[in-house]
Chain A
């Protein structure tokens, strides 16, 4: 079983729709969680950290469910510019090097 698993997609949704992805992780001792966004042929960039109580940044909401060991990302009122691959990132022990990346979920927003 992979340490971090994501549905690869692609998710193809119309502009204005709400879309959500989940990411599961296997290590219950994981401490830090993030969503990164990666555009085609570009580097990953931090979208948002995920906090225990859940957090929101504009149209984006991230949630953590420790009991079921998953994190989620919700995008409301999706825009064409949201088309990208979304990477789930988990830092199991707050160790410096052990940062686990999911393979990413591809999102495509259509007009």
Chain B
């Protein structure tokens, strides 16, 4: 069964801290995504990676960076967390052949105090 694993389900951080959110997929997918989901706003794309070391900004990249050193791993970094980054963060992956279906990880709920 296809799997996307996010290392942390719940995190509490303080303003100004650096935060790493890790995501690993076992499907050999080329495409990986980071979204955040907030009530009433739906899912918004932060960053997208289409291959190792390749990335594209999404709709809301400000305050975030990403790293994709290996195909299976896509990390989201908050260099200096702020309270408005309190949210649910969802990682997803997708292969380039077949149906354009996204598979999501279970999510990481981040609270910034």
List B residues 80-106 near A (Cβ within 8 Å). 90, 94, 96, 99-106
Q: Which residues of A contact B103 (CB under 8 A)?
A: 46
Central interface residue in A32, A42, A49, A97, by most chain B CB within 10 Å: A97
Residues of A in contact (CB 8 Å), total 21
Contact B50 A96 (CB under 8 A): yes
Q: Give bound CA distance, A103 to B43, whole Å.
A: 7
Size bin of chain B's contact surface: 20 to 34
Q: Are B96 and A96 in contact (CB under 8 A)?
A: yes
A22 CB–B CB distance under 8 Å: no
Q: Given A96-B48, A97-B58, A101-B42, A43 and B101 touching (CB < 8 A)?
A: no
A32 to B104, CA, bound (A): 18
How far is it, in angstroms, between the C-alpha of A26 and the C-alpha of B13 when the chains are bound?
Answer: 39
- In angstroms, Cα B20 to Cα A26, docked, is 36
Given the known A-B contacts A96-B31, A97-B33, are A103 and B42 also in contact in the complex, defined by CB atoms under 8 Å? yes
Known contacts A96-B31, A96-B96; is A43 also within 8 Å of B104 by CB? yes
Chain A: minimal CB distance from B93 (Å)? 11
| A residues lining the B interface (CB < 8 Å) | 8, 32, 34, 41-46, 49, 87, 89, 91, 94, 96-97, 99, 101-104
User: Which positions in B face A, CB cutoff 8 Å?
Assistant: 31, 33, 40-43, 45, 48, 50, 56, 58, 90, 94, 96, 99-107
